[in-house]
Amino acid sequence: MPNLNPEVTKFLSPQPLPMYIGGRWTKAISGATFETRDPGNGTILARVAAGDVADVEAAVVAAQEAFQKSGWATMPVNDRAVILHRLADLITKHQEILSQIESLDVGKPRGQAAAFDVPHAAQTFRYYADLAVHTRRREPIAVSGFDAHTVRVPYGVCGFIFPWNFPFLLVGWGVAPALAAGNTVVIKPAEDTPLSTLYFAKLAEEAGVPPGVINVVTGLGETAGTALSRHPGLKRMSFTGSPEVGRLIAEACGRNLVPVKLELGGKGAAVIFDDVNVDAVAEALAGAVTLNAGQVCCTATRWLVHEKIRDKFVEKATATLGAMKIGYGADADTNIGPVVSEKQRARVLGYLDKGVKAGARLLLAGGRAEVKGHEQGYYVKPALMTGDPGNVCAREEIFGPVAYVMTFNDEDKVVELVNSSSYGLANSVWSNNLDRANRVAEQMVAGNSWINAHNLFAHGLPYAGCNLSGCGGGVLGPETLSDYLRNQTVARPLG
Ligand code: NAD
């Protein structure tokens, strides 16, 4: 492994890596394990405890006890905020270690993890800790004949299931508001990328989060994930991942009447009008579609280009994509790391084949990439396709560095084309005519409409999907804290 911080080597040394339940580091009750691999060279990074229904049961019980007895739910909100700020400080202090772990496990360029994933997650804890301090927990209700008020209290145990593309960042987005509100949590990270979530639990312990408030059950989706989503002890559930699994989670939660948040996939469009700086937009979108090797739910994968600038745009985009350095995540000059697994690479390559067989044309061929010294890694070249809007590659989420180019010459028709997708996560419009940009932005049906940019995230900017991209309120907004506070009406008749 390349120049690892000694702390990373030490963290990876116990075999298997234990999970964290009730403040204890523990093996799976069954003794089972699974392996997590470095996608940059295919080697095993660690064997990890494979939890199942029994471990999930232990974690939910620990979280219930911590909710009732640890003082986390009832402590003054300022005291909870102090602990969460301490956790954010520790994340910042361990940024290099966390970035290395994330880069090793996901394959992403280390610099990207250090510049975005890790600091953004730390900031998420600060944002919700501060917001919680300034959120009123009691509101008077003015109804004639009553002395009444609303009290806002945490729900109890909240379950979280996360995907593998931004494991550390998404833990922050998910659990920070739940914890700041006073809930306790059980987290099931993706089996491909459990490492940074385990390190997060270690930092939470060091920050003074009481035992049982944060529990991490590592394991497979079909076992640990299913058990968590079906657990009747949950008061809320949050799932980030594919629509297919999202449906199963929603069904399981529906049976227990557990409210559920779903953050699912996307097939984002970028609409590019003919009044833009063509080269700059082509470069920006080439960057967007290759970020995290294209494994970004909200990224722009349908490029709808005004016919007048189409050729110039495609020329610049193919040149930019073609010049990107594909390489190992720890190498400083890497633009595009590997995709997360052999399975994911097969999925991306399979889509290119299916798309071409169905009539799409490759403007930039894409395909398997070889990286010298890392021949066993799961590398993929960026691809640019074009063709009919009905093509499978124009409709379905590929989750790799692949964009599909289509042209337009009419504003209404392009909005129709954007909205023909079953997804509704994020689209962007690019134009120097801001009236038009705002008009189109408001007409595109999705949780997020960005103008002259794609992949925009900030604390306080709500981020959610609609249609096949999710439901339940989203993340990152001030409202997300309220999602984790239950309203209770207290009333007394007067006279
Ligand atoms: P996935 O749905 O296969 O897996 C997500 C998680 O669910 C993993 O932890 C997995 O172990 C677990 N899981 C799998 N089967 C399960 C089951 N039967 N019951 C319970 N849990 C189960 O998704 P993925 O491949 O890990 O991630 C990619 C998907 O996530 C893409 O569709 C992407 O767009 C989406 N995503 C969405 C957002 C968002 O904010 N909207 C963010 C990141 C990723």
The two beta strands, 157-161 and 236-240, are parallel
Cβ atoms of 282 and 316 closer than 8 Å: yes
Beta carbon of 424 within 6 Å of any ligand 1 atom: no
Ligand 1 centroid distance, CA of 483 (Å): 21
Phi, then psi, of 75 in degrees rounded to 5:
-65, 155
pLDDT per position as a tens digit, 220-262: 999 999 999 999 999 999 999 999 999 999 999 999 999 999 9
* pLDDT of 23 over the 90 cut: yes
Q: How far is CA 149 from CA 131, 152, 479, 486, in A?
A: 21, 10, 20, 14
Judge if the beta carbon of residue 167 lies within 6 A of ligand 1. no
Q: How far is the CA of 190 from the centre of ligand 1 (A)?
A: 8
Quick one: how far is CA 297 from the chain centroid?
A: 8
Please report, rounded to a whole number, the percentage of residues in the chain having pLDDT higher than 70: 100
Checking if the pLDDT of 444 tops 80, the result is yes
Looking at residues 54-79, what average pLDDT do you find? 98
Q: Which two tokens stand for residue 228?
A: 């968590």
Q: What pLDDT score does 1 carry? A: 61
For ligand 1, the distance from its centroid to the CA atom of residue 187, given in whole angstroms, is 13
pLDDT value, residue 2: 64
> Whose alpha carbon is nearest atom 18 of ligand 1?
222
| Calpha distance 326→380 (Å, rounded) | 8
Across the range 377-385, mean pLDDT stands at: 98
The residue whose CB lies within 8 Å of the most ligand 1 atoms, and thus the one to mutate among 165, 239, 298, 468, is 165
Q: Is residue 42 within 8 Å of 376, Cβ to Cβ?
A: yes
Ligand 1 atom with minimal separation from the 263 CA: 41
Q: Are 240 and 263 in contact (CB under 8 A)?
A: yes
Ligand 1: atom nearest CA of 244 is 2
452-480 tens-digit pLDDT:
999 999 999 999 999 999 999 999 999 99
Q: Which of 170, 394, 397 is nearest to 266 (CA)?
A: 397
Residue 3's pLDDT is what? 81
Model confidence at 495, pLDDT cuts 50, 70, 90, reads confident
User: 225 CB less than 6 Å from ligand 1?
Assistant: yes
- What residue type is 55 in one-letter code? D
- Which among 196, 245, 289, 291 is the best mutation to test ligand 1's pocket, defined by most ligand atoms within 8 Å of the CB? 245
Q: What is the reported pLDDT for 85?
A: 98
C-alpha of residue 132 to centroid of ligand 1, in Å = 28
Please say whether the beta carbons of 24 and 215 come within 8 A. no
263 lines ligand 1 (CB under 6 A): yes
Atom of ligand 1 nearest to the CA of 465: 41
Nearest residue (by CA) to ligand 1, atom 11, is 221
Instruction: Label residues 272-283 b or e (16+ Cβ within 10 Å = b).
Output: bbeebebeebbb
Q: Report the catalytic residues.
A: 263, 297
Which is the closest atom of ligand 1 to the Cα of 246?
A: 2
CA–CA separation, 213 and 65 (whole Å)? 9
* Number of other CB atoms surrounding residue 332 within 10 Å: 9
The structure tokens listed for 136 are 């009123």
Q: Residue 58: what pLDDT? A: 98
Q: Quick one: average pLDDT of 26-41? A: 98
How many CA atoms lie within 13 Å of 400's alpha carbon, on the beta-carbon side?
A: 31
Tell whether ligand 1 has an atom less than 6 A from the beta carbon of residue 327: no
Q: How far is the CA of 491 from the centre of ligand 1 (A)?
A: 43
Residues of the chain with pLDDT > 90: what percent? 99
- What whole-number distance in Å separates Cα of residue 403 and Cα of residue 300? 7
Q: Edge-to-edge, what's the strand order for the sheet holding 448-451? A: 361-368, 380-386, 402-408, 300-306, 268-272, 426-430, 448-451
Please provide the average confidence, as pLDDT, over all residues in the chain. Answer: 98
CA separation for the pair 144, 141 (Å, rounded): 9
- Please give the number of the atom of ligand 1 that sits closest to the Cα of 173: 40
Q: Which atom of ligand 1 is nearest to the CA of 161?
A: 9
Cα 189 versus chain centre, distance? 11
Asked if residue 187 lies in contact with residue 215, where contact means CB atoms within 8 angstroms, the answer is yes
Q: Give residue 402's pLDDT.
A: 98
Q: What is the three-state SS of the chain?
A: CCCCCHHHHHHHCCCCECEEECCEEECCCCCCEEEEECCCCCCEEEEEECCCHHHHHHHHHHHHHHHHHCCCCCCCHHHHHHHHHHHHHHHHHCHHHHHHHHHHHHCCCHHHHHHHHHHHHHHHHHHHHHHHHCCCCEEEECCCCEEEEEEEEECCEEEEECCCCCHHHHHHHHHHHHHHCCCEEEEECCCCCCHHHHHHHHHHHHHCCCCCCEEECCCCHHHHHHHHHCCCCCCEEEEECCHHHHHHHHHHHHHHCCCEEEECCCCEEEEECCCCCHHHHHHHHHHHHHHHHHCCCCCEEEEEEECCCHHHHHHHHHHHHHCCCECCCCCCCCCECCCCCHHHHHHHHHHHHHHHHCCCEEEEEEEECCCCCCCCCCCEEEEEEECCCCCHHHHCCCCCCEEEEEEECCHHHHHHHHCCCCCCCEEEEECCCHHHHHHHHHHCCCCEEEECCCCCCCCCCCECCCHHHEECCCECCHHHHHHCEEEEEEEEECC
Centre of ligand 1 from the C-alpha of residue 262, in Å = 10
Which pLDDT band, with edges at 50, 70 and 90, does 279 fall under?
very high
Q: Is the CB of 399 under 6 A from ligand 1?
A: yes
Cβ distance 176 to 209 under 8 Å? no
Cβ of residue 161 lying under 6 Å from some atom of ligand 1: yes
Q: Burial of 145 by CB count in 10 Å (0-12 exposed, 13-18 middle, 19+ buried)? A: exposed
Nearest CA to ligand 1 atom 13: 221
pLDDT digits (tens, 9 = 90+) for 323-351: 999 999 999 999 999 999 999 999 999 99
Beta bridge partners of 489: 150
Q: How far apart are CA 427 and CA 133, in angstroms?
A: 34
